[in-house]
Structure 1
Amino acid sequence: MKKHRKLFLVFFSLLLLMLILSGCEKKTNKESTRKDFDSFTNEVFKKEVTQDTITLNFSLANPKNYGITNPPVTFGHYSLSEMKKSLLAAENYLAALKDFSYRDLDSKQKLTYDILKDYWTLEMNSGNFPLYNEILGPTTGLQAQLPVLLAEYNFYTKDDIDTYIKLLPGITDYFKEICQYEEQKSKAGLFMSDSVADSILAQCEAFIADKENNYLIEVFNDKVSSYKGLSKKEIKAYEKANKNAVINNVIPAYQLLIDTLNSLKGTGKNDGGLAGLPKGKEYYRYLLASNTGTDRSPEELIKLLDNSILSNLRALNALTSKDSKIYEEAANVSYPLTKPVEILDYLKSTISQDFPPCPKVDFTVKYVHKSLQDYLSPAMYLVPAIDNYKNNVIYINENPDYQGQEIFNTLAHEGYPGHLYQSVYFRNTNPTPIRSLLNFGGYAEGWATYVEFYSYHMAGFSDNEASFLEHSMAANMSLYCRLDIGINYEGWNIAQTASYLQQFGITDKNTAKVLYTTMVEEPALYPEYGVGYLEFMELKNTAQKALGNKFNLKEFHKFVLDIGPSQFEIIDKRMDSWLKTQK
């Protein structure tokens, strides 16, 4: 017995040693995998963030802290060859990603892995539509956004001013590439309609109308004169260099774009939505998925939108049944505050009940320059640098056409608890840098729309008034998204658009024309807001049904905010685990 016992003990000791050694090896492999994965994502970040100087400037205040030294000064490139390079890079990134052992990653890395995998897989699909992309657009196009980006270029150090001055002349070659791309689109029969071209042309012409007093000259002079540490001589030299660059490079680049678009007018073969192009429906599917972050097909979204319209109309009817004067009451509500800074301060203090805390930050409210008022949205928030998110800027457009839009709800969308709050909250979670570089319009705009509608309940209105306004806006937003899919995917013309609107009592032909033109000009734009909003509502409804009286709105908001910008399918997959913790 003793002999057998001794053999057993020896065997047991060997087995234990093997387990310990294998455990050490497993632990070492895990540590190595996690370290390598972080290195991989950081290298991808460094490569992508330095593709153009503006992206780098808005992403990082201190690039050297991220291992970035002497990056090229460039606007980047916009050409078919460059698009092919991007596709090849995405293919290589995907291949490298699949080499990592998923199970050895920690939970935060697994989230990043899932996001990157879906992101690059979808990007690969864009290779099927090389000439369908459109960088120009009446409202969100590059030519409309670039002046604001240049005006807000961050001067963290004196080197940043030097880089900015060095950057401006590069706009000539960049716009040449855009013009060549538009010429290629024209030859392929994929050029924009004349009405869209006219809208872009009007915006460009307004921007360069007063050459000597251009917006970029005025703003630069204000910024550089207030920069501490510069001598009067240096300030004058900078002002002169900037003015020369604006007059001799920026304005001629916009003039080149004007001349090119004018020469190509009339070559567009499609005056309607994307469905009128050879691969238009397929491209719209891709664009819809890319812009919204949803994995639902257009057909599934149509059902979701139809249900949203119907349910919100029913809610409005129910409110009207309770109070026959609710429509008039809601239309004449009085907001407690009207000054932007006061509104933002009020919203910041009020949201603490239903939203998790985020760090204290500064914000500045600015106003869109008159030369850009007709072509920019009612308001915009500039996402801050990853390593400098304490300073935030919100632009308000004082265009008279936007006077009917209440500034209170607009600032809830752009500020608290909208874009500013969500961006600051996410950056404060210290995400891996690559996460902050990815664009998820559906999450960002969906969240901002979700809280914008929520803000009616923070404005001091009665519950019925707030609910009426919320359901009215939600119904309208779903209606716009339905029009976008109908026009760009199902191929509706103006008559079909008008017919669809008539069933909701909208009979004005000019309204139908305006809405039709809006969806044609920038397809899949409204779904970023409306579909994104509905995806958040679907997540919220799922949580409420699963948790019943245990549902806590603040905890739900924390759940979606902690995950951060991503595809909605990824958030949905993680909801089961979160629900278990809540139960």
Structure 2
Amino acid sequence: MKKCRKLFLVFFSLLLIILSAAGCEKKVNTESTQKDFDSFTNEVFKNEVTRDTLTLNFSLANPRNYGITNPPVTFGHYSLGEMKKSLLATENYLAALKDFSYSGLSDNQKLTYDILKNTWNLELKSGNFPLYSEVLGPTTGLQAQLPVLLAEYNFYTKEDIDTYVKLLPNTYDYFKEICEYEKQKSKAGLFMNDTVVDSILAQCESFISDKDNNYLIEVFNDRVSSYKGLSKKEIKAYKKANKDAVLNSVIPAYQLLIDTLKSLKGTGTNDGGLAGFPKGKEYYSYLLASNTGTSRSPEELITMLNDSISNNLKALNALVTKDSNIYQEAANVSYPLSKPKEILEYLRGAIKEDFPPCPNVDFTVKYVHKSLQDYLSPAMYLVPAIDNFKNNVIYINQNSDYDKQPIFNTLAHEGYPGHLYQSVYFRSTNPAPIRNLLNFSGYAEGWATYVEFYSYHMAGFSEAEASFLDHSMAANMALYCRLDLGINYEGWTLAQTASYLKQFGITDKSTARVLFSTMVEEPALYPEYGIGYLEFTNLRNKAEKYLGYDFNLKNFHKFLLDTGPAPFEIIEGHMKSWLKTQK
């Protein structure tokens, strides 16, 4: 469900060169302004994409083509000092951005300008919460996703293998910085509660339990053995270097994290959501805006979610009134296919009617290693490099807990017309490089959720069955998001959470406890999906209302995909101009 994207926080660092000439003329030289703006955004891109080696490797297959040579080999840094530097850099970025004449930019550049301005202004607000951010988490935390990202590190050239082997020994120092940050959180009374600690500890201990046969040793050995052009001597040397790094740096790094978390366990002062911290409510508001890309206040989102729950339940009741057997029929639908590759090929063809054409690319379906199955999401899509998006990877988690989740809809979310399709489509439009580096989870996960629910109508079910499943999932997603806001913004206790669930017939105490813990562990995660989905639905409703019979679903989807990842306020602003062209 959750795709793997850029692992580390993007801390905008200071440009060595600020283009002071931009926008200085009284009469706008359009050609010069546009050229300078491209130079500025490309300089920002090069500066940010080289902040850590994983980001660079997953973003670019050929860094030299972008003027990047001899970048540092590093995981980056995670400390208060780095955060302060990044905020200063953000202020400088904004100052440089404002020097450009907006009227002298092209339409695409104006869109990039609007997105950067919105992103950097929002980023500055994080300065009010220096010890509130959290890089660890049971499912989407760094320690959970790092093994998969390292296993999928791209070996485009022999130099990439050398870089990877140099990178691994840095794991310990990077984890040490994280541990120091967690200690600072503990001193400030902002450390996680014991339940979250236990979840992270279990994940870390599982990953390093079988040291000599660690996942990263197994995967690397297979990959380097099959790499063409290496001699037996080189393969042997690489295997030894990797194993030494895993045993002497990666595993000790995880052990350091385990020891640190155990020593800090019990220092958490808040067993509830973020609202239980001194500035928790304000921080959650910032986190919500950052994660979802919405400009709506928490109060507005609560109203939106309540309406969504109510409207979807009404739609379900109407379907049941029309056909009293629909619940049973929908619960026992039979999907046309069960094998992942067959499903993806089927979906690739089935979306042609309502979605614009996308470049034909390859994809590989892999399965999550057994040591990670208990702690990762049902499926993940790894976003491809900007300049090498023809090869794509989707991971499926075979954890038995996910057996009841239909793989058909999961692959619609991760593959076609979800993450894979959207990522490849956007890259094929050749946007400014910086656009590919910015992370808008609300757009990405909102789109994937929107098309996941849409996929029920592509599975060969009757329209009544598809609609019932669609509305059921939408109601559930809105309910989860409502719990997230209730617990993290309004400060609901476990008892209040259980009381809220009872009105929907959910009376099992263990269910209430699991849902409460889930929202506490990773706040504002579900809203990426649910609120993102509602924002897309809202845009569609507005387009349909304005255009009436002129509305074309395929054209609407093309507009959204051409616009690309962005805050929803900006997308809606550009949609107003687009709508006029459709009349």
The two structures have a TM-score, normalised by structure 1, of 0.95
Q: Give the whole-Å Cα distance in 2 for the aligned partners of 1:577 and 1:227.
A: 50
Shift of 1:27: 8.9
Equivalent residue, structure 2, for 1:97? 97
**SS of the residue aligned with 2:381?**
strand
Query: Aligned partners of 2:429, 2:86: CA distance in 1, in Å?
Result: 29
Indicate conservation of the 8 Å contact 2:450/2:536, yes or no.
Answer: yes
Amino acid at match of 1:67: G
1:204 and 1:490 map into 2 onto residues whose CA distance is 32
Does the residue aligned with 1:370 lie in a helix, a strand or coil?
coil
1:302-341 alignment runs, 5 A limit = 302-341=302-341
Q: Which residue of 1 aligns with 2:133?
A: 133
Please give the residue correspondences for 1:433-512 in structure 2 after superposition, counting only pairs within 5 Å.
433-512=433-512
Partner of 1:432: 432
Deviation string, structure 1 residues 317-339 (Cα, Å, up to 9, x no partner): 00001100000000000001000
1:549 CA displacement: 1.2
- The SS at the match of 1:395 is strand
Shift of 1:573: 0.4
Q: Is the 8 A contact 2:274 2:284 kept in 1?
A: yes
What is the SS of the residue equivalent to 1:248?
helix
2:5 aligns to what? Answer: none
1:112-137: per-residue Cα shift (whole Å, max 9, x none)? 00000000000000000000000000
Residue 10 of structure 2 corresponds to none
Contact 2:374 2:399 in 1 (8 A): yes
Does the 8 Å CA contact 2:28/2:104 hold for their aligned counterparts?
no
Q: Which amino acid aligns with 1:214?
A: N
Three-state SS of the structure 2 residue aligned to 1:392 is: strand
Instruction: Give 1:575 deviation, angstroms.
Output: 1.2
1:530 & 1:368 partners in 2: Cα distance? Answer: 25
In structure 2, the partner of 1:296 is 296
Deviation at 1:50, TM superposition (A): 0.3
CA distance in 1, matches of 2:100, 2:80: 31
Higher helix share: 1
1:227-251 residue CA offsets vs partner (Å, 9 max, x unmatched)? 0000111101100100000000000
Q: Which deviations, in whole Å up to 9, do the C-alpha atoms of 1:61-118 show, x marking residues without a partner?
A: 0000000000000000000000011111111000000000000000000000000000
Listed as ranges, the matches of 1:567-578 within 5 Å are 567-578=567-578
Indicate how the Cα distance of structure 1 residues 84 and 465 shifts in structure 2: closer, same or farther if over 3 A, else same. Answer: same
Q: Given residue 133 of structure 1, which amino acid in structure 2 is its aligned partner?
A: S
Deviations 1:24-55 (A, max 9, x none): x9997111100000000000000000000000
Preserved CA contact (<8 Å) 2:426 2:562: yes
Tell me, in whole angstroms, the C-alpha distance in 1 between the residues paired with 2:36 and 2:77: 30
Structure-1 residue corresponding to 2:373: 373
Q: What is the aligned partner in structure 2 of residue 40 from structure 1?
A: 40
Counterparts of 1:62-461 in structure 2 under 5 Å? 62-461=62-461
Deviation for aligned residue 1:404: 0.7
Partner of 1:515: 515
Q: Cα deviations across residues 494-531 of structure 1 (Å, max 9, x unaligned)?
A: 11001101111111111110000000000000000000
Q: Please name the residue that 1:8 is paired with.
A: none
Deviations 1:154-206 (A, max 9, x none): 00000000000000000111000000000000000000000000000000000
The answer to whether the 8 Å contact 2:344/2:415 transfers is yes
| Amino acid across the alignment from 1:277 | F
Q: Is the 8 A contact 2:28 2:101 kept in 1?
A: no
Give, in angstroms, the shift of residue 378 of structure 1.
0.1
Equivalents in 2 of 1:89, 1:373: separation in Å?
39
Distance 1:261 1:510 in 2: 26
1:14 aligned partner: none
1:312 partner SS: helix
Q: Distance in 1 between matches of 2:264 and 2:411?
A: 39
For residue 226 of structure 2, what is the amino acid of its counterpart? Answer: S
SS of the residue corresponding to residue 134 of structure 1 reads coil
Contact 2:58/2:385, CA 8 A, preserved across alignment: yes
Rounded to whole Å, the distance in 2 between the matches of 1:511 and 1:119 is 37
DSSP-derived class of the 2:122 partner? helix
Instruction: List aligned pairs for 1:527-546, cutoff 5 A.
Output: 527-546=527-546
Aligned pairs, number? 559
Runs (4 or more) in structure 1 with deviation over 4 Å come to 25-28
Contact 2:447 2:536 in 1 (8 A): yes
Residues of 2 paired with 1:316 and 1:152: CA distance?
A: 42
Paired AA for residue 251 in structure 1: I
Q: Of the two, which has the highest radius of gyration?
A: 1
Write the letter of the residue equivalent to 2:172. T
CA distance in 2, matches of 1:185, 1:266: 13
1:351 alignment partner AA: I
Alpha-carbon contact 2:224-2:235 (below 8 Å) kept: yes
CA–CA distance in structure 1, aligned partners of residues 575 and 29 of structure 2: 29
Distance in 1 of aligned mates of 2:350 and 2:328: 27
CA distance in 2, matches of 1:462, 1:326: 10
Aligned to 1:12: none
Identity among equivalent pairs (%): 81
Superposed displacement of residue 576, structure 1 = 1.2
Write the letter of the residue equivalent to 1:416. Y
> Which residue identity does 1:440 align to in structure 2?
F
- Alpha-carbon separation, structure 2, partners of 1:66 and 1:566: 23
Q: Secondary structure at the match of 1:374?
A: coil
The residue identity in structure 2 corresponding to 1:495 is: A
**What is the alpha-carbon distance in structure 1 between the residues aligned to residue 297 and residue 140 of structure 2?**
24
Code of the residue aligned with 1:268 in structure 2: it is G
2:421 maps to a residue whose letter is Y
> 2:555 corresponds to which letter in structure 1?
E
Secondary structure at 1:366 match in 2: strand
Q: Where does structure 1 lack aligned partners over 5 or more consecutive residues?
A: 1-24
For residues 357-400 of structure 1, what are the alpha-carbon distances to aligned partners after superposition, in whole Å with 9 as ceiling and x for unaligned?
Answer: 01000000000000000000000000000000000000000000
